[in-house]
Amino acid sequence: MELMVLLNALVTRLLFVLHSLIGVWRVTAVKKEPKYWLLALLNLLLCLETGLTLKFKQGRGYKWFSPAIFLYLICIVPSLWLLEIHHGTQYCGNEPGAVQVNVSNQDFNQSRESSHGSEGTDHHIIQTAKVFVNQLSTICETVWTLALHQTFLLLLVVGRWLLPIGVEITRDQLSQLLLMFVGTAADILEFASETLDIEDVRKNYALINAILAVWTWSMLQFPLDLAVQHIGCKPSASARRIPSLLLCRYSAELWNIGVSLFIQDGPFFIVRSILMGHFRIFNQMLVFFTAKNILVVTLQLYRLAVITLDFRTTVLQKSRKGEVCCCPCEPYEARAHATGRQENEMKEFVAFPPKEESQAPSEDH
């Protein structure tokens, strides 16, 4: 089992490094400047994290936070920014690209025949790799950028699935987290592709930067696992402070609401509203996704109101009955201590019943 944990930890981080290197290669090919290869040095952070995780955690993850996912974001996001900002990603001609692909296929066949007839297998493999790389280079830049976006989000979900989990998170919680990540990744991809493909947006450099900033902000939810885990709280703090007890009991639900309002649907709604209200940009998909963001934000606020009212009702009922209000996410020892104290008080009450009024002795006695 430990061997599989180490293997999953290494393979997942290797996939992260390879994908980020592909992004750096595309930036260097588009910009035609070798200095952008310096972006590959960001992968040293991921290599350092891999060594520390293998040494101190035996490859397993941490509680509430995934450093590997966070460092992967640091490695790949700058490359995607540069590809989106570059003016070459605005337009793409299909016919020239198709001609280039056909020519590269012909070159591939010729190189295969020549290498097979004259030289050895090693040279044949090298020539095949060169031709394959040249063929990939002829693909349209917009196709490359969209493919990097798609594989980036897919690799986030698959990588989180392959990464070994820590002792604090269960398989059931991980499955819930992965299902949430799939829906979140689809919404983020729709936001980036749908807004950046608008021609009026491409002409405005400030709008591109604003959309990419919101897109980057929305990606910060992936390294966190708070959506499926409850935050532990101490009995003394939860008994004295109502907000602490509320956060303890509904931490996962409150985190989901906060992510939707402040990290994903809320910022997406603001950006789309600015596009329609200030810049007068309208299309069918933009209006539809704006309405969808409004609906999600409204439902999240409704969910927050329901949780607050339910918590208030529970606290009032327990305060009237004089019961000890314990948080369900507290450690078992704390709940057992409170329950044991109540049972001891009940036993003492039964062992020493209240004295009844003494009756007057009868005359017969």
At residue 194, φ and ψ (nearest 5 deg) are: -75, -35
- Identify the band that residue 218 occupies on the pLDDT scale cut at 50, 70 and 90: very high
Tell me if 131 is assigned to some domain: no
Most confidently modeled of 112-116, 155-159, 226-230, 332-336?
A: 155-159
As a whole number, mean pLDDT of residues 112-126 equals 59
Q: Which residue among 207, 226, 245 closes a domain? A: 226
DSSP 8-class letter at 232: P
Is pLDDT larger for residue 229 or for residue 327?
A: 229
Same-domain status, 287 and 237 = yes
pLDDT tens digits, one per residue of 26-66: 999 898 899 999 999 999 999 999 999 888 888 787 878 88
Q: For residue 211, give both structure tokens.
A: 């959309």
- Cβ atoms within 10 Å, residue 329: 18
Per-residue pLDDT at 232: 58
- Identify the band that residue 342 occupies on the pLDDT scale cut at 50, 70 and 90: very low
DSSP 8-class letter at 343: H
Same-domain status, 189 and 299 = no
Same-domain status, 220 and 255 = no
Q: What share of the chain is helix, strand, coil (3-state, %, to 5)?
A: 80, 0, 20
Per-residue pLDDT at 122: 64
Per-residue pLDDT at 89: 45
Tell me if 38 is assigned to some domain: yes
Same-domain status, 257 and 287 = yes
Closest by Cα among 204, 193, 188 to 274: 204
Q: Which residue among 226, 261, 277 closes a domain? A: 226
Tell me if 102 is assigned to some domain: no
Beta strands per DSSP E along the chain: none
Q: How far apart are CA 223 and CA 228, in angstroms?
A: 13
Tell me if 244 is assigned to some domain: yes
Contact 44, 85 (CB under 8 A): no
Q: How far is CA 275 from the centre of its chain?
A: 26
Per-residue pLDDT at 346: 44
Same-domain status, 162 and 238 = no
Same-domain status, 288 and 156 = no
As a whole number, mean pLDDT of residues 291-318 equals 91
Q: How far apart are CA 352 and CA 350, in angstroms?
A: 5
Which range marks the domain in which residue 43 is found?
Answer: 1-89+139-226
Same-domain status, 150 and 277 = no
pLDDT beyond 60 at 338: no
Q: For residue 54, give both structure tokens.
A: 């293998």
Number of domains in the chain: 2
Same-domain status, 184 and 297 = no
Tell me if 188 is assigned to some domain: yes
Q: How far apart are CA 229 and CA 207, in angstroms?
A: 36
Q: Which residue has the tokens 């980020």?
A: 20
Tell me if 96 is assigned to some domain: no
Is pLDDT larger for residue 95 or for residue 188?
A: 188
As a whole number, mean pLDDT of residues 99-125 equals 52
Same-domain status, 221 and 269 = no
Per-residue pLDDT at 302: 96
Q: Which of 110-114, 142-146, 292-296, 359-363 has the lowest mean pLDDT?
A: 359-363
Per-residue pLDDT at 57: 84
Q: For residue 216, give both structure tokens.
A: 């980057």
Same-domain status, 13 and 81 = yes
Q: For residue 14, give both structure tokens.
A: 């290797």
- Cβ atoms within 10 Å, residue 17: 19
Q: For residue 133, give both structure tokens.
A: 């790389």
Tell me if 125 is assigned to some domain: no
Per-residue pLDDT at 151: 95
Single pTM value for the model: 0.76
Per-residue pLDDT at 355: 47
Q: How far apart are CA 6 and CA 4, in angstroms?
A: 5
Q: Which residue among 189, 206, 226 closes a domain? A: 226
Closest by Cα among 206, 220, 327, 173 to 278: 206
Contact 155, 211 (CB under 8 A): no
Is pLDDT larger for residue 175 or for residue 134?
A: 175
Closest by Cα among 343, 332, 333, 324 to 238: 324
Mean pLDDT of the chain: 78
65 conformational bin, left if phi > 0, alpha if psi -120 to 50, beta if neither: beta
- Identify the band that residue 108 occupies on the pLDDT scale cut at 50, 70 and 90: very low
Q: How far apart are CA 362 and CA 125, in angstroms?
A: 116
Q: How far apart are CA 232 and CA 103, in angstroms?
A: 62
Same-domain status, 154 and 192 = yes
Tell me if 150 is assigned to some domain: yes
Same-domain status, 254 and 277 = yes
pLDDT tens digits, one per residue of 219-248: 999 998 776 666 656 555 444 567 777 777
